Structure 1
Amino acid sequence: MRSDQHRRAGICPECAEKVQVVRQERPPLRVLVGYVLGLLLVLCVGALLASAAGISEERINLLAMLVVPVGLAWLLVGAVTDRQEGFFCRGCGYSE
């Protein structure tokens, strides 16, 4: 394996040839949809478990009112700060 400087310079760690560096500033829409569905799944399962445990509906609603803004903030932070970087070597086919 080569050093991180070689990776940043666009050189393959396997064969030392130049590579095509790929940067993605924001996650794709399917990732954001996955985050939203995950948040809804957590809310639904939490509500089902709470109702099975005998917790009143008012307390479940209060908990949801606290969890939803935190989940939305998590989604926004994930959409803004999730940067990805990788590369593909045409010489040997190595990708990262």
Structure 2
Amino acid sequence: MTVTVGALTNGFYVEDDGKGIPDSKRDRILEAGETEKAHWTGIGLRVVAEIVKAHGWAIQIKESAAGGARFEFHGVDCVPEQQHNGCVPSARSN
């Protein structure tokens, strides 16, 4: 599997070329305990959701161009990045 991180105008994205997340699960995939495997805890993406909330960002879950999962993070304080038409998340804390 390949994971790609890139800039958006007001944030960044993380996407992969894996099997993706079905539309029917996207609205609950960030909930505690949501998992596909019995031996997993289902807290990983819940932690991501809490970090997003703590920073005042928004998250969208989509399908990547390769059919995998794509997580877009919006409302991120960014510092200019000369090599991209987007932003790099600021190290500044709220």
**TM over 0.5: same fold?**
no
Work out which structure has the larger RCO, using CA pairs closer than 8 Å and 6 or more positions apart in sequence.
1
| TM-score w.r.t. length of structure 1 | 0.24
Higher normalized helix content (fraction of residues): 1
| TM-score w.r.t. length of structure 2 | 0.24
Instruction: State the structure with more CA Rg.
Output: 1
